Every structure is written in C-alpha cells, then in structure tokens.
Amino acid sequence: MTDISNLASNLASAFVKARLSAQAIETYPGPVPQTLASAYDIQDLAISAWPEPVAGWKVGRIQGDDAVRFGTDRLAGPIFSSQVTTAGDAPSGMPVFKGGFAAVEGECVIITARDAPADKTDWTRAEAIDMIGAIHAGIEIASSPFAGINDLGPLVTISDFGNNYGLVIGDMIPDWWGLATDEWSFETIIGDTSVGKATPSAIPGGPVESFRFMLENAAHRGMPLKKGSAISTGAVTGVHLAAISDSAIVRASGVRDIHIRLIEAEPWTEGAGASHTG
C-alpha cells in the first residue's frame, strides 16, 4: 500500500511541477493508473498540492469499451480560481502548454445555486436540476504538459487534472430553466474554419446529467460543490485540437459570441491570473 501511495504522490508531484513551471512532459511520468480510484487519488493529491482553491470542475466523456469497463461515461477534473475568466468584447487570451496538448471545447457551464450538503452522495436528476443557479455558454480550454494525455485512456486524463487548463464563461443562455437543450445550437470555429456544430442534447443525458454526475463525484471525494462553483458540462461540438496563437469562437444561440486567443502558458506566479483580454 505504501508503494502505491508513493507512486500516486510521485505522479501528482510530477504534474503539479510541470504545470507550475509550464514545462512539457515527453512521457507519462510513471506507471499508468489501472483503476478509477487510483486515477482520482492522483488527482486529489495534485489538488491538495496546488496553490489555489478549486473554483469549478470540468466534466468530460468516457466512451465505448472504457465506459463499460469503468462503469461510468464521465470523468472530472478541477478548475482553479485563476483559470476562470468572464468573456468580454475583446478576445480572452487563454494559456496552453507549449509542447503539450491543447484543445478548444464549446460547452454549457452550470453555476451551482447553493452549497451541496456535505453528507449527500447520491443525487437524482430532479435534485440536480434544483441545484442549478444558471446555465451559460462557455469554452473549456483542455491543455496538459503531456501531449499524449488523451492517447493513453481516461485514467491518464483524470490523473492530470482531467486535462483542463481554463474556462471562459459567456452569457447566460436565455430561458435556460426550460432545459430545451435540443434547441440550443453551438458552433465552434477555429481560425476561419467551422469545426463542429451540435446541440447539448448530443451528449447522453445532456448538461444536467453531467452536473448530477459532478455532484456525486465531488461528494464522494469529500469536496461537495459550493455555491457559485462553475461546472463545465462537456464538449458540445467535440474536442478540437488547437495551437498557440490560434483564435477561436464559440457561437451559441441567443448569446454573444465568445472569442479567445491561445497564448503560451508561463510559469505560475501568485496573484497572476491564467487568462487576460486583449
């Protein structure tokens, strides 16, 4: 057990060090985790070592045989306070790791209405809906110092903060409380090219199921959702690879376009936000 704990600690430390220093990792820094529990153990240790509080969570997909193998079709990763920005009229400059993985994802972002009970670990869909304070259009920045993070399966993705490095929150979706997700059109544009169009209902269970999953996942890990937590609920149009200096737009029905520009991540310093406009 001690050896397993040391392995998890070493992996967590390697990813925290790489992210804080903005240095790429060429190979996975140890044995690949084999269970959901071990992957989340690594993530939890990394969260405890990160010098900022968790401000929200990303929810990603687990698909195909992996979903059957692990008994879930979703995974989670933390979003830290300096990594959340509100969209404005100017493009938001969003850092990604040079030599690592980088992608842009148009998403629905759910804002948690109030603190979740600390002792509640099972949630119904109706109970989850009652915890929704608002739903916004947004962009998740998926980035990792390890370029192969998505090539080695979902447990590796989980182990490095769920492959998240930022969230841009756009306007509130009009009449979101009706949850007519099959009517909310999303389009992702990188450069001058439209790379995907879809509605949130294309994701099984839609944003509500992702939020319900996150309520349970966070509670089981002793980190129940807090009022105001931003939950990025899954890539509506897909995961779109991008590079430093690329510009991207997420266009959603009824809200202003969200504009971003990818910039090179710099070493973390206290008080420095992970994004800026200009």
Q: Which tokens go with 118?
A: 């600390």
How far CA 148 is from CA of 36, 40, 51, 105, 272, in Å, comes to: 19, 19, 25, 18, 27
Residue 62 covered by a domain: yes
Write the CATH number for 7: 3.90.850.10
Amino acid letter, 165 = Y
Confidence grade of residue 271 (pLDDT, cut at 50, 70, 90): low
**Taking 50 as the threshold, does the pLDDT of residue 275 lie above it?**
no
Q: What per-residue confidence (pLDDT) applies to 272?
A: 59
Residue 275 covered by a domain: no
- Give the separation between CA 4 and CA 215, rounded to whole angstroms: 28
Cα 33 to the center of its chain, rounded Å: 20
- Give the separation between CA 271 and CA 239, rounded to whole angstroms: 30
**Taking 90 as the threshold, does the pLDDT of residue 1 lie above it?**
no
What is the average pLDDT value for the chain, to the nearest integer?
95
**Taking 90 as the threshold, does the pLDDT of residue 270 lie above it?**
no
Range of the domain at 32: 2-266
**Taking 70 as the threshold, does the pLDDT of residue 242 lie above it?**
yes
For 114-143, what is each residue's pLDDT tens digit? 999 999 999 999 999 999 999 999 999 999
With tokens 């084999």, the residue in question is: 34
Q: What per-residue confidence (pLDDT) applies to 172?
A: 98
Greatest extent of the chain over all pairs of C-alpha atoms, in Å: 53
Q: Which of 217, 174, 188, 235 is nearest to 56 (CA)?
A: 217
Residue 32 covered by a domain: yes
Residue 67 covered by a domain: yes
Q: What per-residue confidence (pLDDT) applies to 62?
A: 98
Q: What is the total count of domains within the chain?
A: 1
Segments of the chain assigned E as strands: 54-61, 74-80, 84-86, 92-96, 101-112, 132-144, 166-172, 186-190, 193-198, 230-232, 240-241, 247-252, 258-264, 276-277
For 150-174, what is each residue's pLDDT tens digit? 999 999 999 999 999 999 999 999 9
Residue 278 covered by a domain: no
For 44-102, what is each residue's pLDDT tens digit? 999 999 999 999 999 999 999 999 999 999 999 999 999 999 999 999 999 999 999 99
Residue 274 covered by a domain: no
For 2-59, what is each residue's pLDDT tens digit? 455 888 999 999 999 999 999 999 999 999 999 999 999 999 999 999 999 999 999 9
Average of per-residue pLDDT across 189-198 = 98
Residue 277 covered by a domain: no
**Cα radius of gyration (the chain):** 17
Residue 68 covered by a domain: yes
Q: What is the pTM of this model?
A: 0.95
